Amino acid sequence: MVRRLAVLMDPIQKLKIHKDSSFAMLLEAQRRGHEVHVFEQRDLGLRNGKAWIRSRRTRVFDNPTRWYEQDEPRIEDASSFDWVLLRKDPPFDAEYLYDTQILERAEALGTLVVNRPAALRDANEKLFTALFPQCCPPTLVARQQSDLREFVLEHGLCVVKVLDSMGGTSIFRVQADDPNLNVILETVTLEGTRAALVQRYIPEIVSGDKRILLIDGEPVPFALARIPKAGEFRGNLARGGSGRGQPLSERDRWICAQVGPELKRRGLIFVGLDVIGDYLTEVNVTSPTCIRELDAQFGLNIAGLLFDRLEAMRS
Question: What digits encode the pLDDT tens for the residues 117-158?
Answer: 999 999 999 999 999 999 999 999 999 999 999 999 999 999
> Sorting pLDDT into bands at 50, 70 and 90, what band is 315?
confident
The residues assigned a catalytic role are 126, 161, 211, 226, 234, 274, 282, 284
Question: What digits encode the pLDDT tens for the residues 70-85?
Answer: 999 999 999 999 999 9
32: left (phi over 0), alpha (psi -120 to 50) or beta: alpha
Cβ distance 208 to 235 under 8 Å?
A: yes
**What average pLDDT does this structure show over 88-98?**
91
Strands 4-8, 83-86: pairing kind: parallel
Whether pLDDT at 234 is above 80: no
Q: What is the pTM of this model?
A: 0.94
**What average pLDDT does this structure show over 61-69?**
97
Spell out the domains of the chain, with CATH numbers in brackets.
4-115 (3.40.50.20), 138-201 (3.30.1490.20), 204-314 (3.30.470.20)
pLDDT at 240: 64
Whether pLDDT at 170 is above 90: no
Percent of the chain topping pLDDT 70: 96
State the angle between helix axes of 21-31 and 291-298 in degrees (0 to 180), rounded to the nearest 10. Answer: 70
Range in 59-68, 233-242, 272-281 the model is least confident about: 233-242
Residues 6+ apart with CB under 8 A from 252: 210, 212, 219, 223, 275
pLDDT at 238: 62
For residues 129 and 60, what is the distance between their CA atoms, to the nearest angstrom? 36
- Residue 171 one-letter amino acid: I
pLDDT at 147: 98
pLDDT at 233: 67
